[in-house]
Chain A
Amino acid sequence: KNQVEQSPQSLIILEGKNCTLQCNYTVSPFSNLRWYKQDTGRGPVSLTIMTFSENTKSNGRYTATLDADTKQSSLHITASQLSDSASYICVVIAAGGTSYGKLTFGQGTILTVHP
């Protein structure tokens, strides 16, 4: 069964500090992995998309890594801001099957940034 597990479930940090969120998956065969940011009551917004051959990808203060051998990904947030407070969801898409790709969602990590 395809699964995506994220840790920690929740995290509280002070503004300006860095943090790293983890994602482990068992989705196979692997196509790509995405990190989404979801503010409370809003739809998810894509931060990064990583394919099998990509190890690191950055988007501003967000840097995602992918180890396809160990099936692990991380999202590193640098110099956190209050607006980073949100749920961060790891999503993995399996290769093959339908062309539109069914997503397997992680449970998310709730990040709270305090001033």
Chain B
Amino acid sequence: DTEVTQTPKHLVMGMTNKKSLKCEQHMGHRAMYWYKQKAKKPPELMFVYSYEKLSINESVPSRFSPECPNSSLLNLHLHALQPEDSALYLCASSHPRTGQVHNEQFFGPGTRLTVL
């Protein structure tokens, strides 16, 4: 299995809702990432987990709460979002090796989030 899967593909939520995005990979990767991508812009890094521990939080608002229950799963819990949070949310995974040459990140298809 050489792919990263994300669910749901599309999500519409109100500003008072609580929802979760899910990401799964079975490539044995021990680093997992959340990115946010607005239309016609490059992805922006939000969080990095390495060996199930949060390693990087790019000053993301607390209404986004990541969780890594095990080495294959990564969740992003959403609460009290704003309309400007509407975007494509991408998950990625990689081997956290010290040699970065082979540290390719594999991206999932993304979840298209719309906040009303």
Contacts and interface: CB of A to CB of B under 8 A. Distances in A.
Interface of A: 31-32, 34, 36, 41-46, 49, 51, 87, 89, 93, 95, 98-103, 105-108, 110
Contacts of B94: 100-101
B88 interface: yes
Contact of B103 (A42, A93, A107, A110): A93
Given A43-B90, A44-B107, A110-B40, A103 B45 contact: yes
Contact of B110 (A41, A46, A99): A41
Nearest to B96: A100
Given A32-B101, A49-B104, A107 B90 contact: no
Contacts of B109: 42-43
A46 B100 contact: no
Contacts of B105: 103
28 contacts: A31-B100, A31-B101, A34-B104, A42-B109, A43-B4, A43-B92, A43-B110, A44-B107, A46-B104, A49-B101, A49-B104, A51-B101, A87-B40, A95-B100, A98-B48, A98-B55, A98-B56, A99-B97, A99-B98, A99-B103, A100-B31, A100-B48, A100-B55, A100-B103, A102-B45, A103-B45, A105-B42, A107-B42
A103 B100 CA distance: 11
Given A43-B90, A100-B50, A93 B110 contact: no
For chain B, give the interface size range.
20 to 34
A48 to B, nearest CB: 11
Nearest to B29: A100
Interface in B2-53: 4, 6, 31, 40-43, 45, 48, 50
Contacts of B4: 43
A110 to B, nearest CB: 7
Contacts of B103: 93, 99-101
A87 B39 CA distance: 11
